[in-house]
A and B are shown apart, each in its own frame.
Chain A
């Protein structure tokens, strides 16, 4: 693993049947580049996560892939169709679950789903049957006639996802679908997504919660500042951070002395953007007493000490020097 934010680690698996192929995608708003040349592919039946903090470029990427935004450079293919030239055909293959609750609160759950179904060309018995299926899938059959505005946050989220499934899309884009959801509904949504995935649907899932990415995603792309910093399976990404990380708070005048000290003891250390010393070590449990003893010996006051075991959070911290929720 390299020093903070200097290297991009892309381990693209060989995708035999890519359903999404993104190559050097760029999106700018005036002088501001919000997606800066990203490349990735998603396989048939894969759950692919886009993980990053707010402003990383995840939602913009999803908006481009779901045909809502035009892009400036690069190529995007969905099920072999070029998004730049075959946008209308692509629209029939994809489903979008926007970050906002894209439902009509004064209409019933059934009316919401019927409306979306009609927009996708369903009618008559096919429409009625599909509405019943999706209501069942979303666990809303018993409240189908109630206005959606009366639902809890979790129920609204489930209806929001259901609306994206009405036409049985081949690819489903889920943009932070669990925002504002209680743990029970979150688990329901996770089970729901896993079930859809088992049926062969490819899912692109954006989140800034590492727990969600760890539980759901076959592979994860870590994004920051419009760039993809790393792509791999969750174990593959976590494996990039050997051992763990110690975040040590010391007075500013002692920071450089401490950094050199730990560096000489084969502990990879660097200054984090928040002013703390980031010490990467293979055996974090053994390293902590050693760090405390050394500081005491060299009269370096310890202001704070935090021990991080390897997970996607530590991977992101290691790649960017910042936490996901910063």
Chain B
């Protein structure tokens, strides 16, 4: 009897694998759709995640002096930002920059006013003092995750330029107003040494006292920061894997509608064997899907997948269990294929979004971040990111794998309880 059950499960598995690989739409949904997502979204979000391709900003220099030119030069020196001062060979004007943003060709422009240098170079004791504004013109549709860092960079550069430009005048002012002879230093010598004293490790020169460097936490043993493809592969893998639930639920309901399920139930085969025969092929397809996505990503985008193959295997197995168990749950709750389809779309898009597959969870409001933890997507994504971009090992992701197995068991238990064999 045990041999018959094993043969029956094998027959069911083989049959469903054959049916799957004869269904072109199913293969597009499972294999191609998440891969297309990775490619499209990686390119689309390259600016957010930093794929090595810098964010392009326009610079309009209306300044009659030299200070704005220095700031533009400093901005151009920043990694991640590409400053464009001309368009099609002609120096940019404010109007042209506005037109380029309105026309959707660029998202950001920094505009230096005509009095920028004169305001910066004005001595503190001059009778007429003035303030001026550098403008960061942004397309309202540009995400804050892009405009925020650019604004920060421009502010930093402008403040540094202000300090550098106004410092000599400030020293003159102090010498003129107060008796500085006791210090034994001339105003010219002080001006020469001041910048070094403030910004360098030694007044005589040396390296910059403060520099900015991007680093990861020490516990994350990464060699370099991930690019947008590496950032997106875990999210869209998790997103894609769960679509198996839609196919599995549709397959069960189609068999019920077409009468093949009734034929099976009239045969000497146990209910658990019928369910196992449904779960195993889709579980195998899921594992194959993950393997293909990772292999293709490695080949096409030169992505590395961290240091723990065992960690990836454990996470993938738990994730596939979750997705197939969700399929059983949906097939138990839905009465028709159409119901299953709409239920799956609604559920998977919501769970993917809340779980951080589309937008990182740390960018979400705190309440949504917490709600996201109720989805298996968040845990699977976190585990994959731990392994792929944070350099963690199997032991580090085991708790997350455990939570995924828990989700799978809950989905399966509720699904079996509600499953209608009749």
For the complex formed, measure the closest distance between the CB of B165 and the CB atoms of chain A, giving whole angstroms: 75
CA distance A261 to B281 in the complex (A): 74
Interface string of A81-101 (1 = CB under 8 A from B): 000000010011010101111
Give chain B interface residues in 214-257, CB to chain A under 8 Å: 257
Question: Does chain B have a CB within 8 A of A13?
Answer: no
B78 within 8 A of A: no
B-side interface mostly: helix
The answer to whether B266 and A94 touch across the interface, beta carbons within 8 angstroms, is: yes
Expressed in whole angstroms, the Cα–Cα distance for A96 and B7 within the complex equals 21
- B15 and A107 within 8 A (CB): yes
Which of these, B8, B22, B265, contacts A118 with CB under 8 Å?
B8
Identify A102's interface contact among B8, B18, B19, B259, CB under 8 A. Answer: B259
Min Cβ gap B253→A in Å is: 13
When the two chains form their complex, are residues B268 and A100 in contact, meaning their CB atoms are under 8 A apart? no
In the complex, chain A residues whose CB is within 8 Å of the CB of B259: 98-102
Quick one: which of B18, B263, B265, B422 contacts A107, CB cutoff 8 A? Answer: B18
Residues of A within 8 A of B269 (CB): 119
Are B264 and A119 within 8 A (Cβ)?
yes
Say yes or no for B23: interface residue by CB 8 A criterion: yes
B267 in complex: contacting residue of A69, A91, A103, A106, CB < 8 Å: A91
Q: Which residues of A contact B7 (CB under 8 A)?
A: 118, 121, 123
* Least CB distance, B129 to chain A, in whole angstroms: 82
Distance of A190 Cα from B266 Cα, bound (Å): 24
CB < 8 Å: which of B4, B258, B264 contacts A100? B258
Q: In the docked arrangement, what's the CA distance between A102 and B259, Å?
A: 5
**Interface status of A66 (Cβ within 8 A of chain B):** yes
A68-B262 in contact (CB<8A):
yes
Nearest residue, chain B, Cβ from A93: B268
| B347 contacts partner chain A, Cβ-Cβ < 8 Å | no
The interface residues of chain A lying within 8 Å CB-to-CB of B18 are: 106-107, 111
Q: Does B267 lie within 8 Å of A119, measured CB to CB?
A: yes
* Contact, CB under 8 Å: B11 / A118: yes
Complex Cα–Cα for A101 and B265 (A): 15
Identify which of A66, A70, A92 contacts B268 (C-beta below 8 A): A92
Q: Do the beta carbons of A115 and B15 come within 8 Å of each other? A: yes
- Other-chain contact of B263, A69, A88, A92, A163 (Cβ < 8 Å): A163
Report A-chain residues with C-beta under 8 Å of the C-beta of B186: none
Residues of B within 8 A of A102 (CB): 258-260, 262-263
By CB atoms of chain A within 10 A, which of B18, B19, B258, B260 has the most? Answer: B260
What's the minimum C-beta distance from A14 to chain B, rounded to whole angstroms? 30
Contact A96/B262 with A88-B268, A118-B7, A119-B11 known, Cβ cut-off 8 Å = yes
Contact A120 B268 (CB under 8 A): yes
Q: Is residue A75 within 8 Å, beta carbon to beta carbon, of the partner chain? A: no
B367-388 Cβ-contact flags toward A at 8 Å (1 or 0): 0000000000000000000000
Query: Complex Cα distance A102/B265, Å?
Result: 12
- B254 (CB) vs chain A CBs: closest residue: A104
Interface residues of B in 9-36 (CB under 8 A from A): 10-12, 14-15, 18-19, 22-23
Per the bound structure, the CA–CA distance linking A119 and B18 in Å amounts to: 16
Q: A66 with B11: in contact, given A104-B19, A104-B260 (CB under 8 Å)?
A: no
Q: Which residues of B contact A101 (CB under 8 A)?
A: 258-259
Is there a chain B Cβ closer than 8 Å to A67's Cβ? Answer: yes
Interface residues of A in 113-143 (CB under 8 A from B): 115-116, 118-121, 123
CA distance A100 to B266 in the complex (A): 14
What residues on A are CB-neighbors of B265 within 8 Å?
67-68
Q: How far is the CA of A123 from the CA of B11 in the complex (A)?
A: 10
Interface centre among B10, B11, B422, by most chain A C-beta atoms within 10 angstroms, is B11
Q: Given contacts A119-B267, A123-B7, are A104 and B262 in contact (CB under 8 A)? A: no
Bound CA–CA A164/B14 (angstroms): 20
| Residues in B neighbouring A70, C-beta threshold 8 A | 422
Q: Which of A173-209 contact B (CB under 8 A)?
A: none
Q: Are A91 and B266 in contact (CB under 8 A)?
A: yes
Q: Which residues of B sit under 8 angstroms from A69, Cβ to Cβ?
A: 422
Give Cα A99 to B258, complex, Å: 9
What 0/1 readout, one digit per residue, does chain A (261-301) give for beta carbons within 8 Å of chain B? 00000000000000000000000000000000000000000
A96: chain B residues at CB < 8 Å are 262-263, 266
A163 contacts across to B, CB distance below 8 A: 263
Q: Which of A91, A98, A120, A147 sits near B262, CB closer than 8 Å?
A: A98
- Cβ contacts under 8 Å, B262 to chain A: 63, 68, 96, 98, 100, 102
- Given A99-B259, A100-B259, A102-B259, verify A68-B266 contact (CB < 8 Å): yes
| Beta-carbon contacts under 8 Å, B104-125 to A | none
How far, in angstroms, from A195 to B317 measured CA to CA in the complex? 52
Report chain B residues within 8 Å CB of A100: 257-259, 262
Bound Cα distance A67, B262 (Å): 10
Judging by beta carbons under 8 Å apart, are B258 and A67 in contact? no
CB distance from A134 to the nearest CB of B (A): 14
Instruction: Name the residue on A nearest B261 (C-beta).
Output: A102
* Nearest chain B residue, comparing its CB with the CB of A63: B262
Report the minimal beta-carbon distance from A127 to chain B, rounded to whole angstroms.
10
Which chain B residues border A147 with CB–CB below 8 Å? 22
A70-B268 Cα distance, complex, nearest whole Å:
16
A111 and B21 alpha carbons, distance in the complex (Å): 14
Closest chain A CB from B251 CB (angstroms): 11
CB neighbours (8 Å) of B260 from chain A are: 102-104
Q: Which residue of B lies closest to A65 (CB)?
A: B266
Whole-angstrom distance between the Cβ of A181 and the nearest chain B Cβ: 16
Flag if A121 contacts B258 (CB, 8 Å).
no
Q: What's the nearest-Cβ distance from chain B to residue A79, in Å?
A: 14
Min Cβ gap B327→A in Å is 19
Establish whether residues B263 and A91, one from each chain, have CB atoms under 8 Å apart when the complex forms. Answer: no
Q: Tell me the smallest distance from the CB of A172 to a CB of chain B, in Å.
A: 11
Rounded to whole angstroms, the CA-CA distance of A164 and B265 in the bound complex is 13
Distance in angstroms between the alpha carbons of A92 and B270 in the assembled complex: 12
Given known pairs A102-B259, A104-B260, the reply for A120 and B19 (CB within 8 Å) is: no
Residues of A within 8 A of B10 (CB): 118
Beta-carbon contact of A66 and B258 below 8 Å: no
Nearest B residue to A166 via CB reads B267
What mask results when residues 38 to 79 of chain A are scored 1 for a CB within 8 Å of chain B, else 0? 000000000000000000000000010011111000000000
Nearest 3 A/B pairs, CB to CB: A100-B259, A118-B11, A102-B259
For this complex, 18 residue pairs linking A to B, each with C-beta atoms less than 8 Å apart, are: A67-B265, A68-B262, A96-B262, A100-B257, A100-B262, A102-B260, A103-B258, A106-B22, A107-B22, A111-B15, A115-B11, A118-B7, A119-B8, A119-B11, A121-B7, A121-B268, A123-B7, A163-B263
A residues lining the B interface (CB < 8 Å) = 63, 66-70, 88, 91-92, 94, 96, 98-104, 106-107, 111, 115-116, 118-121, 123, 147, 163-164
Having A102-B260, A104-B15, one finds 10 other A-B pairs with CB under 8 Å, namely A63-B262, A88-B268, A100-B262, A103-B260, A107-B18, A107-B19, A118-B10, A119-B8, A119-B11, A121-B8
